[in-house]
Amino acid sequence: MNIDTEHLHHWMNAVRISNNPMRTLDAFWHGQIKSKEWLISELLNYSPARPTIEIHGGWVGVLASMLFQTTKLNAQSIVSVDIDPLCQYVAEEMNRIEYSENRFRAETGDMCNRYPVTSIVINTSCEHITQEQYELWLSRMFDDQLLVLQSNNYNIPEHVRIAQNLEEFKTQSKLSRIVFSGEIDLPLYKRYMIIGSK
Ligand SMILES: C[S@@+](CC[C@H](N)C(=O)[O-])C[C@H]1O[C@@H](n2cnc3c(N)ncnc32)[C@H](O)[C@@H]1O
C-alpha cells in the first residue's frame, strides 16, 4: 500500500474538519493501523477479483482508504457503515477521491439492520456488539459472501463482547467455514481475525 500526497491531503483534511480531531486521530494509533495492514495482507489471499466491499463499524473510513490504495486488491467499490452520524462526513472526506468517482459511500446506520449484497463484508468492530446483535447480523449475511471479522481482548467499557483468546472468538463467530484465523500482539491488547463464511 502506498499513500500518495493527494490521498494524504484528504486524510489530514478529514481530521481537520471532524468534530473532534483528537478522537479522529485515534483511528491512526499504531495498533489500529497495524490491525488493518494485517487484515489487508491476509484478505489478499482469499479475495475474489474486483471485490465489492461493505465495512461495518467503518468508523472514519481509514480501512476503506487503505483498501482502495492496495492496488493488488483492485476494489471496485466500498460502502462504510457506522452507527455514529458524525463518522459519515469524515469518512467521505477520508475517501474523497473514490467518493468523487462513485466508488465510495459512507452511510449512517446499525450494522445489524444491513442486508449487504457485496462480495466481501468486513466487520472490525465485533467487540462493539453483543452476542445477540452479532447473531442477528450474521443471519443477514449470504452463504457465498467472504466475511472478515476482527475482535480483541481489550477490556474497556465500550467493548461489550471481547474474547479472551482466538478459540473463544471462533466460538462467538459461529462461522461454518473458516479459511483463516490468527492473532497478533499489539502493545495494549491482542487482535484476533477470522476470514470465512456463514
Ligand atoms: C471505535 S471503532 C473501532 C473498532 C475497530 N477496532 C476498528 O478499528 O474498526 C468502533 C466503531 O463501531 C461503531 N459501531 C458500534 N456499534 C455499531 C453498530 N451496531 N453498527 C454500526 N457501527 C457500530 C462505533 O460507532 C465506532 O465508530
Report the CATH number of the 5-197 domain: 3.40.50.150
Summarize pLDDT for 38-78 with one digit per residue, the tens. 999 999 999 999 999 999 999 999 999 999 999 999 999 99
First to last CA, the chain: 29
Pocket of ligand 1 (CB under 6 A): 32, 56-57, 59, 81-84, 87, 110-112, 124-125, 128-129
What single letter denotes the amino acid at residue 74?
Answer: N
Q: How many CB atoms lie within 10 A of CB 162?
A: 19
Residue 159 grid coordinates: 467493548
Given a cut of 90, is residue 87 above it in pLDDT?
yes
Protein residue whose Cα sits closest to atom 18 of ligand 1: 110
Model confidence band, residue 1 (pLDDT cutoffs 50, 70, 90): confident
**Residue 140: what pLDDT?**
96
Tell me the CA–centroid distance for residue 128 and ligand 1, in Å: 6
**Crossing angle for the helix pair 166-173 and 131-139, to the nearest 10 degrees:** 50
**Residue 187: what pLDDT?**
87
**Residue 2: what pLDDT?**
85
Give the number of the atom of ligand 1 that is nearest the alpha carbon of residue 59: 27
109-130 mean pLDDT: 97
Query: In 3D, which of 120, 62, 65 has the Cα closest to residue 87?
Result: 62
Protein residue whose Cα sits closest to atom 19 of ligand 1: 110
Tell me the CA–centroid distance for residue 5 and ligand 1, in Å: 28
- DSSP assignment of 141-157, as one string? S-TTSEEEEEEE----T
Tell me the CA–centroid distance for residue 32 and ligand 1, in Å: 12
Protein residue whose Cα sits closest to atom 25 of ligand 1: 84
Tell me the CA–centroid distance for residue 59 and ligand 1, in Å: 6
pTM of the entire predicted model: 0.96
